Amino acid sequence: MKIIVMGCDGYIGWPLTMRLTALGYDVVGIDNYSRRERVAEVDARSATPIASPWERFTELSKRYSNFEFRFVDVCNKSQVDHLFEKHRPDAVVHLAEIPSAPYSMISQGHCIETMENNVNGTLNILWAMKKYTPDAHLIKIGTMGEYGTSNLDIPEGFMKVNYRGREDTIPFPKQASSWYHQTKVHDTNNCMFASKIWGLRITDIMQGVLYGVSTPEMMCYEGDEEEINPSLVTRFDFDEVWGTCLNRFVAQAIIDYPLTVYGEGNQTRGYLALRDSLQCLNIAIDNPPEKGEYRVFNQFDELYSVKQLAEKTKKIGAEYGLDVKIKHIPNPRIEAETHYYNPDCEKLPLLGFRPTFTLEDELRIMIPFLMKYKDRIKEYEKVIKPKPYWRT
């Protein structure tokens, strides 16, 4: 089975590429290194010292013959067409998007850049699939953030409603809260339409917020969590633009920086460990939808409020001698700070998804792992404090 991983140099893309390669799929990774450039643009850097793309891909290729890399920009129609025409994948995991809400809110230029990269990139992939691989399976990474925080339960994509006495099953309406999240909503609408008119198989993943850094494949010896292979470690961003909430808290805890809880901290989301995201994506790959089927998976493990995540970080941090402080700061975002939140997550567990560790146990892996990079985090602590992009 041949799989294209688009965005194979990213936080998820790289460990996913290693996982799928190790499992024996024929993997073609593509990237244009733009994540590295955009992180540098905001003066941030990964806590983990990641290898150059060349070093990464060479190291993986030394171990496995079933991996190859191609430099492709998803916004370049010719490059995408050529990729599909030449490699004819059975499945495509599309991670080649700009994944940051704050980044998309920095300026008009960042808004339009995120819009064009994400929406046009996905369209180029959909068109290439129509032309060259109409039976292939697209696994598109969206976000739970597409749904927003209405007062309703959140189903997996579609809801059966009775409205004024009539019934239908309709897409759950999206209320996204950043330009980035809007691009994912647009992608969702475009994917649903492409599946309908062209008969494409599409799994649209509404993913929760990821956390974690190490996966077995980046260790020198499989299963040995102590010895990381410096050529294989994935990136770990902790700055206000690229760092996700729990990852940011762990980095802050390590350098004795009070955890920055935005506002009340009752904002509740679904969270998922990086290693479990790989497990879920693998399940999606192995269980493709029918021809012409567009399906939605809500992909997360547990729900936490920001405040609860801070408390967890404080509690587990103490086991490693960290005296973690928590500080509520004015919310740089415009979002509901207290809201109802009850999303479904049934489809992936039915297909076999079982979380590997509890969040606390994953913190027990993350904290000692990242303590080795304390100096690198400390050196960049200036990029932790959020800027109020939503309000300027």
Positions that interact with a copy of itself (CB under 8 A): 77, 108, 111-112, 115-116, 119-120, 123-124, 127, 150-153, 159, 161-164, 166-168, 170-177, 179, 182, 185-186, 189-190, 192-193, 196-197, 334, 340, 390
Q: What is the nearest approach in angstroms of a copy of itself to the Cβ of residue 159?
A: 6
Between β-strands 137-143 and 201-207, what pairing exists: parallel, antiparallel or unpaired?
parallel
Q: What is the nearest approach in angstroms of a copy of itself to the Cβ of residue 339?
A: 11
Which residue of the set 180, 257, 304, 389 is catalytic?
180
Look up tokens 């409020």; give the residue. 305
One DSSP character per residue, 25-45 reads -EEEEEE--HHHHHHHHTT--
Please give the single-letter amino acid code of residue 110: H
Q: What is the nearest approach in angstroms of a copy of itself to the Cβ of residue 182?
A: 6
Instruction: Find, among 237, 238, 235, 363, the residue nearest to 308 by Cα.
Output: 363
Coil vs helix vs strand at 46: coil
Nearer to a copy of itself, 36 or 186 (CB): 186
Nearer to a copy of itself, 29 or 121 (CB): 121
Coil vs helix vs strand at 344: coil
Coil vs helix vs strand at 364: helix
Please give the single-letter amino acid code of residue 273: A
Phi, psi of 18 (to 5 degrees): -65, -45
Phi, psi of 140 (to 5 degrees): -105, 125
The residues with which 138 forms a beta bridge, in sequence order, are 92, 202
Q: What is the nearest approach in angstroms of a copy of itself to the Cβ of residue 375?
A: 38
Which residue of the set 140, 174, 184, 312 is catalytic?
184
Is residue 143 part of the annotated active site? The answer reads yes
Q: What is the nearest approach in angstroms of a copy of itself to the Cβ of residue 192?
A: 8
Task: Please give the distance of CA 235 from its chain centroid, rounded to a whole number.
Answer: 12
**What totals of helices (H) and strands (E) does the chain contain, helices first?**
14, 14
Nearer to a copy of itself, 202 or 383 (CB): 202
Is residue 180 part of the annotated active site? The answer reads yes
Q: Which residues contact 180 (CB under 8 A, 6 or more apart)?
A: 98, 99, 100, 101, 103, 104, 105, 114, 118
Which residue of the set 114, 133, 143, 215 is catalytic?
143
One DSSP character per residue, 188-216 reads HHHHHHHHHHH--EEEEEEE-EEE----G
Q: Are 372 and 226 in contact (CB under 8 A)?
A: no
Nearer to a copy of itself, 196 or 385 (CB): 196
Nearer to a copy of itself, 152 or 220 (CB): 152
Instruction: Find, among 15, 374, 64, 30, the residue nearest to 219 by Cα.
Output: 15
Nearer to a copy of itself, 226 or 344 (CB): 344
Q: What is the nearest approach in angstroms of a copy of itself to the Cβ of residue 352?
A: 26
Q: How far apart are CA 89 and CA 133, in angstroms?
A: 7
Give the C-alpha distances (Å, rounded to integers) separating 349 from 95, 109, 171, 207, 281. Answer: 22, 40, 22, 14, 12
Nearer to a copy of itself, 174 or 376 (CB): 174
Q: What is the nearest approach in angstroms of a copy of itself to the Cβ of residue 177?
A: 7
- Would you name the residues annotated as active-site residues? 143, 180, 184
